[in-house]
């Protein structure tokens, strides 16, 4: 087994505002080669901290990847720290200097003196060209360990790594990851439904990752046991049935979009508490203009009457957040937009506006499909305003998906 | 100076799908007490890895905070690893066991046998109650170091830390952070505008954090140099002028919302390429129903005609993405909703639909304010579909803000 670890270097990475997202990208590429990331570390631009991290990492891992600290300023000391740790001098590499100077000249600029530092490379190091920036990367081998020094900006790191870094990393038994996605089911319910086979699934690297309104079920196994992976996924699909909405990286709006496109149906939405979020998610999908006709955000009662023909009497009698209003909104938008499907959301996103009978989180979703009876579901969502908005849009998309699965 | 480091424990934290977001929260609370986070580490549920991290951390930091690995399953070994590192036995704490059993009983459940493990505490440890879950936390002192073992779920970690953990951490010279926010200005432009004073600003921990459409300018200094901080911020405000839209944690939609509320003005929006995102952002603000009357997502040309009274002739002549259509949409929504302000967005979010004359990223934003001439601005945004949508909504909010600043 090849072990790797990832070291993010940069004082801004220790503020309350920045996370080391490069490590997610690096982990994914390593996983595909069968290399396991066993630790990640994040330190500032401080020589002792960098050396301590390199020391710990190289005692247990074969591949050590550093990101950040290759810039032209005196704060950037990753190469100095790595050279010092490995007992190597830094050398000016004329070929690298020429490349950097050339980069500036092409933009009609003189290279600032500080950028000379970027041409200093630990002795014996291989230069990794930077297709998207001036900082070259460095590859070093020492005592059977592979060290990679990569730039911090993701745009630069990813291009350099893919082209020049990753191919140098040894291959083990490559791993394959298979992901099933489930919408609007709590984690405990998924656990319960999969209970009978959980033991068997664990052998295929089964993990559940839960986020609000969405569960991912991951399987991870060596590529040569693809058969076991497929049958574990098959078994899971059988137990969870229509709750599984996709395999792989698709979003719920992409899945719903594909179903709409394939069926040739057009849709329009009427939103209240979600304020446009449902429309925004539907139109996040490229090509959505072929099936999304319009949306209406009827935030005020007047807008519900004027834009959706919801009878004033219905609002007065049942309240704007109610089954009859959700029904009238869904039917209204479908009729007025002259489309096949109308979806409506009305609810209380809070923090104010809740009552004993309809507390914050109460949401009605209406679904009007041509030639079918309109359906309204009532939900009670936990959490704050933004979470309730997201849950509501998720519930609406999932209702539509389930309805279309039935062939309506 | 008190140094801290943060250790996130859990094998799922080493997948390509999870980041240690708890550390951002913890860093913020520590910063307010003048405690500096000097490193972060992330390891799996593996005893050797946890011990190596504790060892490195305790050699250089006063405060070591672990999150995760306190659950009831045999995978969860944080307490075992910490006890082993400190040479302490684990002891069953009857009072803790009673609390956990009680928690299950209240929900009408019998405590599963596995949860007994959660009552095992390293000898001499102080139990940190968990207001939001069954896993108690642990506080240990050893060799002048403070060790905190906290649960992984943010909801549990934050409640426990704030009430029981943080008060035990020593206070140093507390730091104060001051943040200025700038919308729709590139980082290089901010750099240039602040050029003359950058040297002086650095003394107050000046940093620029850039994300698409948004720049944060941070100052960080000990509380007792609040005066220097204030005058650095003042100087920055003077140089950047109206580009600074807020101080602190406010979002652009919150700032615009406050201006609308204070002026008593009502607003309605007409969106095309943003698909509802502008309305969704405006309604992310609690209480937005007092000023947001309605939105229309006129994705199809028919919807632009029917819902906004955009003349068909204008669309035919100039195209749906054009100055005249943005103008007609803004004036149309303002008139039909009978509000003070109408905003409209029409553009090409891509990846398809671009032309030589109007490439992907071309966006027109119209602003119609009662008693004023309607203004339309043309933008050319870089990036993919979602980034163009975000930039467009950001530009619209910022145009409205600048207009209201002028008192219109």
B256-300: per-residue pLDDT in tens?
999 999 999 999 999 999 999 999 999 999 999 999 999 999 999
Suggest the residue from A56, A280, A303 to mutate for an interface test with chain B (most B CBs closer than 10 A): A280
A4, closest residue in chain B (CA to CA): B14
Most confident of the following: A221-235, B173-187, B196-210, B374-388: B374-388
pTM to 2 decimal places: 0.86
Contacting residues of A for B16, CB less than 8 Å apart: 24-25, 27-28, 31
Cis ω before A210 (30° cut-off from 0):
no
| Encoded tokens for B406 | 């002028």
For residues A300 and B289, is the Cβ–Cβ distance under 8 A?
A: yes
- Is the minimum CB–CB distance between B267 and chain A shorter than 8 Å? no
pLDDT in tens, B141-153: 998 999 999 999 9
pLDDT band at A201 (very low <50, low <70, confident <90, very high): confident
Average pLDDT (B146-172) is 94
Residue B311: its pLDDT value, please?
98
In sign, the C-alpha dihedral spanning A380, A384, A388, A391 is negative
CA–CA gap between residue A133 and residue A156 (Å, rounded): 6
Residue A342: its pLDDT value, please?
98
Helix A323-337 vs helix A301-308: crossing angle, to nearest 10:
40
- Is the minimum CB–CB distance between A73 and chain B shorter than 8 Å? no
- Is the minimum CB–CB distance between B178 and chain A shorter than 8 Å? no
pLDDT band at A408 (very low <50, low <70, confident <90, very high): low
Candidate from A394-403, B177-186, B207-216 with smallest mean pLDDT: B207-216
Judged by CB atoms closer than 8 Å, whether chains meet at A39 and B41 is answered as yes
| Encoded tokens for B139 | 């506080």
Q: What percent of chain B has pLDDT over 70?
A: 100
Residue B408: its pLDDT value, please?
66
* A189-248 residues touching B, CB cutoff 8 A: 207, 209, 216, 218
| Encoded tokens for B83 | 């006890």
More confident position, A85 or B117? A85
Chain A nearest-CA distance from B337, in A, is 8
Chain B nearest-CA distance from A251, in A, is 14
Residue B170: its pLDDT value, please?
83
- Is the minimum CB–CB distance between A119 and chain B shorter than 8 Å? no
Q: What percent of chain A has pLDDT over 90?
A: 75
CA dihedral (B168, B174, B180, B185) in degrees, to 10, reads -80
Contacting residues of B for A40, CB less than 8 Å apart: 14, 41-43
pLDDT in tens, B34-68: 899 999 999 999 999 999 999 999 999 999 999 99
What percent helix, strand, coil does chain B show, rounded to 5? Answer: 45, 25, 30
Chain A nearest-CA distance from B284, in A, is 6
Judged by CB atoms closer than 8 Å, whether chains meet at A274 and B289 is answered as no
pLDDT band at A171 (very low <50, low <70, confident <90, very high): confident
Helix (H) or strand (E) holding A147: strand A145-150
pLDDT band at B244 (very low <50, low <70, confident <90, very high): very high
The shortest CB-CB distance from B277 to any of A216, A276, A294 is to A276
Tell me the CA distances in angstroms from B269 to A9, A80, A293, A333, B329, one per residue in order.
44, 54, 17, 18, 9
Phi first, then psi: give them for residue A181, nearest 5 degrees: -115, 135
Left (φ > 0), alpha (ψ -120 to 50) or beta: where does B263 sit? alpha
The angle subtended at Cα B226 by Cα B220 and Cα B227, nearest 5°, is: 125
Judged by CB atoms closer than 8 Å, whether chains meet at B297 and A298 is answered as no
- Is the minimum CB–CB distance between A337 and chain B shorter than 8 Å? yes
- Tell me the DSSP string of B304-319: HHHHH---HHHHHHH-
**What's the whole-number average pLDDT of chain B?**
93
The shortest CB-CB distance from A299 to any of B39, B207, B283 is to B283
- Is the minimum CB–CB distance between B363 and chain A shorter than 8 Å? no
- Is the minimum CB–CB distance between A17 and chain B shorter than 8 Å? yes
Candidate from A61-70, A285-294, A308-317, B184-193 with smallest mean pLDDT: B184-193
CA–CA gap between residue A144 and residue A127 (Å, rounded): 19
Most confident of the following: A163-177, A325-339, B63-77: A325-339
Strand ranges inside A44-80, DSSP E: 63-67
Q: Given a cut of 90, is residue A340 above it in pLDDT?
A: yes
pLDDT band at B189 (very low <50, low <70, confident <90, very high): confident
For residues B150 and B132, is the Cβ–Cβ distance under 8 A?
A: no
Average pLDDT (B382-404) is 95
Q: Given a cut of 80, is residue A257 above it in pLDDT?
A: yes
- Is the minimum CB–CB distance between B3 and chain A shorter than 8 Å? no
CA–CA gap between residue B229 and residue B219 (Å, rounded): 7
More confident position, A383 or B18? B18
Residue A147: its pLDDT value, please?
98
B276, closest residue in chain A (CA to CA): A276
Contacting residues of B for A46, CB less than 8 Å apart: 38
| Half-sphere exposure for A26 (CA within 13 Å, toward CB) | 33
Q: Given a cut of 80, is residue A282 above it in pLDDT?
A: yes
For residues A297 and B276, is the Cβ–Cβ distance under 8 A?
A: yes
Q: Given a cut of 80, is residue A31 above it in pLDDT?
A: yes
The shortest CB-CB distance from B286 to any of A16, A25, A351 is to A351
pLDDT band at A115 (very low <50, low <70, confident <90, very high): confident
Strand ranges inside A207-332, DSSP E: 207-211, 214-222, 244-247, 267-271, 292-297
More confident position, B110 or B285? B285
Contacting residues of A for B42, CB less than 8 Å apart: 39-41
Residue A211: its pLDDT value, please?
81
pLDDT in tens, B351-373: 999 999 999 999 999 999 999 99
**What's the whole-number average pLDDT of chain A?**
93
């Amino acid at each position: 087994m090849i072990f790797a670890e990832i070291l993010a270097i940069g004082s801004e990475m220790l503020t309350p505002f920045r996370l080391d997202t490069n490590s997610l990208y690096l982990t994914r590429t390593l996983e595909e080669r069968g290399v396991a990331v066993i630790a990640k570390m994040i330190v500032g631009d401080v020589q002792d901290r960098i050396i301590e991290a390199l020391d710990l990492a190289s005692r247990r891992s074969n591949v050590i990847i550093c990101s950040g600290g290759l810039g032209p300023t005196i704060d950037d000391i990753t190469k100095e720290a790595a050279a010092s740790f490995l007992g190597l001098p830094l050398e000016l590499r004329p070929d690298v200097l020429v490349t950097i100077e050339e980069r500036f000249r092409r933009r009609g600029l003189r290279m600032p003196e500080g950028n000379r530092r970027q041409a200093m490379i630990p002795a014996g190091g291989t230069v990794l060209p930077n297709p998207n920036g001036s900082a070259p990367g460095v590859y070093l081998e020492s005592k059977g360990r592979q060290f990679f020094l990569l730039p911090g900006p993701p745009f630069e790191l990813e291009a350099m790594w893919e082209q020049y870094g990753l191919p140098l990393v040894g291959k083990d038994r490559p791993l394959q990851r298979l992901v099933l996605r489930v919408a609007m089911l709590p984690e405990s319910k998924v656990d319960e439904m999969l209970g009978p086979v959980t033991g068997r699934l664990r052998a295929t690297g089964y993990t559940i990752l839960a986020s609000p309104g969405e569960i991912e079920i991951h399987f991870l196994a060596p590529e040569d046991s693809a058969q076991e992976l497929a049958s574990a996924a098959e078994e899971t699909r059988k137990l969870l049935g229509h709750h599984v909405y996709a395999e792989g990286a698709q979003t719920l709006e992409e899945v719903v979009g594909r179903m709409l496109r394939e069926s040739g149906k057009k849709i329009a939405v009427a939103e209240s508490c979600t304020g446009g979020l449902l429309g925004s998610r539907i139109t996040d999908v490229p090509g959505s203009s072929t099936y999304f006709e319009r949306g209406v955000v009827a935030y005020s009662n007047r807008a519900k009457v004027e834009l959706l023909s919801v009878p004033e009497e219905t609002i007065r009698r049942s309240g704007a957040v109610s089954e009859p209003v959700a029904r009238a909104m869904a039917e209204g938008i479908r009729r007025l937009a002259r489309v096949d499907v109308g979806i409506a959301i009305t609810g209380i996103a809070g923090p104010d506006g809740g009552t004993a009978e309809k507390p914050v989180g109460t949401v009605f979703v209406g679904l009007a499909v041509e030639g079918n009876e309109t359906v309204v579901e009532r939900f009670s969502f936990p959490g704050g305003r933004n979470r309730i908005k997201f849950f509501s849009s998720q519930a609406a998309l999932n209702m539509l998906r389930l309805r279309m699965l039935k062939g309506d």
